[in-house]
Amino acid sequence: MNRRKKILAMILLQTVIALLLSSCWNRRELNELAIAVGAGVDWVDNQYRLSVQVAIPGQVTSKRGASTQAPATLYTAEGDTIFEAARRMTQISPRKIYFSHLRIFLMDEAMAREGVAKVLDLLARDHEFRPDFYLAITKGTTAEEALKIMTPMETIPANKLFNSLQISDKSWSSSMVVTLDELINGITSTGKHPVLTGLMVTGDKKIGEDKKNVEDIYTPSQLQYSGLAVFKFDKLIGWLNEKDSRGYRLIRGDVKSSVGYVSCRNKGKVVLETLRTDTKLKGRLVDSRPELDIKVSLEGNIGSVECSGLDLTEPSTIRQLEVDMEEKVTKILEDVIDKVQTEHKVDIFGFGEAFHRSHPKTWKRIEQEWDDRYFTSLVTHVSVDYKIRGTGTTNDSFLNDLKE
Amino acid sequence: MLSYTFIAIVAAVLTWLELPRMRREKEYREIWGFAAFMLLAIGISVAQTMLKEIPTPLVFITAIFKPFSDLLSAVGLIQ
Amino acid sequence: MPEVKISLRQVSILTAMYLIGSAILILPSGMASMAKQDAWIASLVGMGFGFIILTVQWQLSRKYPETNLLCLSEKLLGKWVGKIVNLLFLVTLFLGGPAPVLHDIGLFMTVQMLPETPIQAIIYLFGLLVILGVRLGLEVLARSAELLFPWFLLLFLSMSILLLSTIKWENAQPILETGVSPIIQAAISFVSIAFLPNIVLLIVYPGSVNRSEDTHKAVYIGCLIGGLVLFMIIALSILVLGPEVTARNQYPSYILAKNINIGNFLQRIEAVMAVMWFITLFFRISLYTYAITIGFSQIFNIKNYQPLVLPIGWIMAMVSVFIYPNVPYEAHFNKKIWGPYTITVGFLFPLFLLCLHYLRKKRPQKSKKSSNSA
């Protein structure tokens, strides 16, 4: 047995080494991959047009000036289904396109109006897509055009799209980071319809596609996020402007930081920087009709003072500013709720979900009619609580001492 | 053909590993058991290479436990 | 056959690994599709049921110390009836236990990590490992479990901690919306995958633990650890992913690991986390195979089980490839048939034997007779 064991061990060892040397079945080395960083789908002539922005590794790392090639390239293919289009792309791409490092996925407005669900199933089912890329809808331009724009700073445009969406989500709150899971949850939920950030191309698109776009200090054509697209299930039905978008985000309770102003009594403005927000949605039943309490609490600092005669050392002034801001935010929130209730008539706020959480039994009864019957006439009670914590690094503004 | 050779090699290696020790220790019952299971294994392997589609043996368990399963579903204990 | 003795701590660890293996992969999805956001409650209810079942199983075992389930059923049912029952039990267990779990690990790898690799490659390699482990015996398995368990705990705890920041409590609300019936259903699916197959341990442990009078306590501790791990995985799936995503994905716990992202820096570590699955599934398959092999050797009065390991392992790897024709079949089998099957062999069977034991005790002459014949 001992000798046998030895021989067997030898054979096993050889096998293992052979296995290691041949490595995996579908191994793919970095130099055999085309790493897709951005992708976009358009609806053209009853076909999907898939555009994929692929990073060119050498161009990203090499010193500037040495190269004349763009940092990324765009492949476009059409097909009856997106998967076919992606595979058809191998006819023009020298390497197999690898989607695991995708940063952003764009869909154009025309396609979003047709419905995005069919596209999303592929993204959810295929193992190569990871759930950490963002989605956006292109507004007034096609996804293909948006992916062609050259960007300064971030040489790979998809990276610029990813980062600027993240930053503006965090510090301005008009656009919003949406991942695939969240979008699918929104599409399937009966108590909340999804929204997606809109993306525009400003300036001259023709220049934007050219290297000229990044050669000067002034960039003629830019990629800019703007507003939120309102969906009914998976179909786009309208847009929210910047102000409404910020109100919407506040109601959803995921604003991290933002900036807003209140007017002073004697002309001018005081700007408040919001640092923390918290929103509580709570459903109630009043005479067997659903109603909703929206409690928003914000915390912030005084960011800048643009008017004179404001005594910031006085607690009552601070209280007055808080009250003014509370009124203003309440107005913004009521406006956006009113607008969505009358114009879009879909519950994008998740009021249904909030009601579902507090009154599961009643929800079962009214779930099917929520959008058509209950949401549009839903009574909401908005209460805002603004707390000013600090006044920045200075106390009273020097504007008070300004001799006019 | 390659598969049959492969099966034969595996069977030979396994026998070569186990049989001599059992003979030395005079474990005759063990030899019979080993032989029976080896034949079964070879049979299954050959069947697998010959037939494209083998029905899963779970159909037997399914057939036996179907009534019990239906009963439990009717009572509402399983979905 | 060499004398095998393992310590009580090893019993606890082996039991915990056995309990977690495969349940960690397939439980969250099924339970979330039944009980929605209340799946975590269902897992607690399931643990309650589980311990009742364990009590029945180990009450029986403690009546006949150092005697494993198969000898015991031969003793209580009579030699020939017992042998036939045992044979049926082992054959069905073989088809429902190790072969499908081996298929599970292959399927998981081909679905999530190596989609173009044939499933045979993974099944044969993993099967080889299991055969090696079982051939070397329980003691080796127990020691390697002791060595690997800290790694498992480390990975599991770090995954739980790294996910804390992504928890959304609203995902679990409203509590108890679905009502009692779906929770019971989900709890039964929990016990049928996690606790009921523990009947296998009644074949493995008796006679091979150094302080056998306390075996049951060690098993309870192991089950408690395993149950808590499963509870946490299910609760995290619900809290982080939400019930819909959990139910829709085949392997929610893997998606959980994909969701780890600390400051865009600590991310994409799901492949490391998958080691957790490999470790636990290895012990699940190994203990199944070990129990089945010693079971067969006992039925045929073979003293040394080791020669049977290689052929049985070969059969297992072969059968495992075609045990499920496709993925929906597996889901259907787990949902409809596996539950009733494990209830029968894991609960009704030991309960029946226990009743039989009490009946025999009342009529002492008869029990004497049967023990003579065994």
Binned at pLDDT 50, 70 and 90, residue A62 comes out as: low
Question: How buried is residue A380: exposed, middle or buried, by Cβ count under 10 Å (0-12/13-18/19+)?
Answer: middle
- Is the same domain home to A197 and A168? yes
B43 touches A at CB < 8 Å: no
CATH domain C8-373 topology: Amino acid/polyamine transporter I (1.20.1740)
Pairing of strands A96-98, A33-44: parallel
Q: What is the mean pLDDT of residues A2-15?
A: 79
Residue at which a domain ends, from A240, A263, A283: A240
- Is the same domain home to A285 and A147? no
B7 touches C at CB < 8 Å: no
- The secondary structure of residue A99, as a DSSP letter, is -
The two three-digit tokens of residue C88, written as one number: 């049926």
Residues 6+ apart with CB under 8 A from A392: A301, A302, A303, A304
Q: Which chain B residue is nearest to residue A1, measuring alpha carbons?
A: B21
Residue C368 has pLDDT above 50, yes or no: no
What confidence score (pLDDT) does residue C285 get? 94
d(CA C95, CA C337): 12
Residue A38 has pLDDT above 70, yes or no: yes
Closest approach of chain B CAs to the CA of C87, in angstroms?
A: 14
Buried b (16+ CB within 10 A) or exposed e, A204-232: ebeebbbeebbeeeebbbbbebbbbbbbb
Q: Under a CB-based contact definition with an 8 Å cutoff, are residues A221 and A203 in contact? A: yes
C320 touches B at CB < 8 Å: no
Q: Under a CB-based contact definition with an 8 Å cutoff, are residues C252 and A124 in contact? A: no
Q: In what order do the strands lie in the sheet with A258-263?
A: A258-263, A269-286, A289-305, A379-390
Question: How buried is residue A315: exposed, middle or buried, by Cβ count under 10 Å (0-12/13-18/19+)?
Answer: exposed
B contacts of C329 (beta carbons < 8 Å) = 56
A contacts of B20 (beta carbons < 8 Å) = 1, 4
Residues 6+ apart with CB under 8 A from B27: C303, C304, C307
- Is the same domain home to A183 and A257? no
ipTM summary value: 0.92
pLDDT digits (tens, 9 = 90+) for C140-175: 999 999 999 999 999 999 999 999 988 988 888 888
% pLDDT > 90, chain C? 46
- Is the same domain home to A351 and A394? yes
Of all helices (H) and strands (E), which one includes residue A202?
strand A195-202
Residue C2 has pLDDT above 60, yes or no: no
Residue span of the structural domain in which B47 resides:
2-75
Residues 6+ apart with CB under 8 A from C133: C140, C141, C144, C282, C286
The verdict on residue A4 lying in a domain is: no
Q: What is the mean pLDDT of residues A365-393?
A: 86
What confidence score (pLDDT) does residue A25 get? 61
Q: Do C185 and B77 touch (CB under 8 A)?
A: yes
The two three-digit tokens of residue C251, written as one number: 């392997």
B9 touches A at CB < 8 Å: no
The residue assigned the tokens 């390699």 is C125
CA angle C314, C316, C318 (to 5 degrees): 70
Which of A227, A237, A211 lies closest to A347, judged by CA?
A: A237
DSSP β-bridge partners for residue A240 = A228
Residue A305 has pLDDT above 70, yes or no: yes
- Is the same domain home to A281 and A300? yes
pLDDT digits (tens, 9 = 90+) for A107-153: 989 889 988 888 888 888 888 888 788 999 998 888 988 888 888 88
The residue assigned the tokens 């986390």 is C273
Residue at which a domain ends, from A193, A216, A240: A240
Average pLDDT, chain A: 85
Q: What is the mean pLDDT of residues C329-335?
A: 86
Q: What is the mean pLDDT of residues A228-254?
A: 89
Buried b (16+ CB within 10 A) or exposed e, C91-130: bbbbbbbbbbbbbbbbbbbbebebeebebebbbbebbeeb
Binned at pLDDT 50, 70 and 90, residue C367 comes out as: very low
Per DSSP, the three-state class of C80 is helix
Contacting chains of C (3 CB pairs or more, <8 Å) are A, B
Q: Do A1 and B20 touch (CB under 8 A)?
A: yes
Residue A282 has pLDDT above 50, yes or no: yes
Q: What backbone torsions phi and psi does residue C133 show, to the nearest 5 degrees? A: -60, -45
Cα A74 off chain centre by:
23
Which of C277, C349, C319 lies closest to C103, judged by CA?
A: C319
Residue A63 has pLDDT above 60, yes or no: no
B28 touches C at CB < 8 Å: no
% pLDDT > 70, chain C? 96
Binned at pLDDT 50, 70 and 90, residue C373 comes out as: very low
Q: DSSP letters along A114-135, please?
A: H-SHHHHHHHHH-TT--TT-EE
A contacts of C242 (beta carbons < 8 Å) = 181, 185
What confidence score (pLDDT) does residue A50 get? 92
Q: Give the count of domains, chain B.
A: 1
Which tops the pLDDT comparison, A59 or C177?
A: C177
Binned at pLDDT 50, 70 and 90, residue A207 comes out as: confident
Q: Which amino acid is at A250?
A: L
d(CA B22, CA B36): 15
Q: Do C311 and B14 touch (CB under 8 A)?
A: yes
- Computed on alpha carbons and rounded to an integer, the radius of gyration of chain A in Å comes to 27
Residue A156 has pLDDT above 70, yes or no: yes
Average pLDDT, chain B: 87
Of all helices (H) and strands (E), which one includes residue A185?
helix A180-188
Q: Under a CB-based contact definition with an 8 Å cutoff, are residues A165 and A134 in contact? A: yes
Q: Do A1 and B16 touch (CB under 8 A)?
A: no
Q: What is the mean pLDDT of residues A350-358?
A: 87
Q: What is the mean pLDDT of residues B6-32?
A: 87
What confidence score (pLDDT) does residue C334 get? 86
d(CA A174, CA A246): 5
How many CB atoms are closer than 10 A to CB A282? 14
What confidence score (pLDDT) does residue A184 get? 87
Which tops the pLDDT comparison, C362 or A25?
A: C362
pLDDT digits (tens, 9 = 90+) for A130-139: 878 899 999 8
Using CA of residue C244, residue C247, residue C251, residue C253, what is the dihedral sign? positive
pLDDT digits (tens, 9 = 90+) for A322-349: 998 999 999 999 999 999 998 888 889 9
C120 touches B at CB < 8 Å: no
Per DSSP, the three-state class of C60 is helix
C contacts of B32 (beta carbons < 8 Å) = 300
A contacts of C118 (beta carbons < 8 Å) = 25
d(CA A129, CA B63): 40
- The secondary structure of residue C113, as a DSSP letter, is I
pLDDT digits (tens, 9 = 90+) for C192-220: 999 999 999 999 998 888 888 888 999 99
d(CA A200, CA A106): 11
The two three-digit tokens of residue A186, written as one number: 């929104």
Average pLDDT, chain C: 88
B contacts of A8 (beta carbons < 8 Å) = 13, 17
C contacts of A353 (beta carbons < 8 Å) = 170
Cα A264 off chain centre by:
34
Residue A65 has pLDDT above 60, yes or no: no
% pLDDT > 90, chain A? 15
Residue span of the structural domain in which A366 resides:
251-404
- Is the same domain home to A205 and A260? no
Residue A219 has pLDDT above 90, yes or no: no
What confidence score (pLDDT) does residue C1 get? 46
C95 touches B at CB < 8 Å: yes
Which of C264, C202, C215 lies closest to C6, judged by CA?
A: C215
Residue A311 has pLDDT above 70, yes or no: yes
Closest approach of chain C CAs to the CA of A309, in angstroms?
A: 44
What confidence score (pLDDT) does residue A1 get? 58
A contacts of B16 (beta carbons < 8 Å) = 4
Q: What backbone torsions phi and psi does residue C17 show, to the nearest 5 degrees? A: -65, -40
d(CA C320, CA C119): 10
Q: Do A8 and B21 touch (CB under 8 A)?
A: no
Q: Do A357 and C115 touch (CB under 8 A)?
A: no
Residue at which a domain ends, from A240, A262, A296: A240
Residues 6+ apart with CB under 8 A from A391: A301, A302, A312
pLDDT digits (tens, 9 = 90+) for C5-32: 899 999 999 999 999 988 998 899 989 9
What confidence score (pLDDT) does residue C280 get? 93
Residue A28 has pLDDT above 80, yes or no: no
The verdict on residue A276 lying in a domain is: yes
Q: What is the mean pLDDT of residues B21-39?
A: 88
Q: DSSP letters along A7-24, please?
A: HHHHHHHHHHHHHHHH--
Residue C369 has pLDDT above 60, yes or no: no
Of all helices (H) and strands (E), which one includes residue A106?
strand A104-108
Closest approach of chain B CAs to the CA of C312, in angstroms?
A: 7
Q: Do C245 and A184 touch (CB under 8 A)?
A: yes
Q: Give the count of domains, chain A.
A: 2
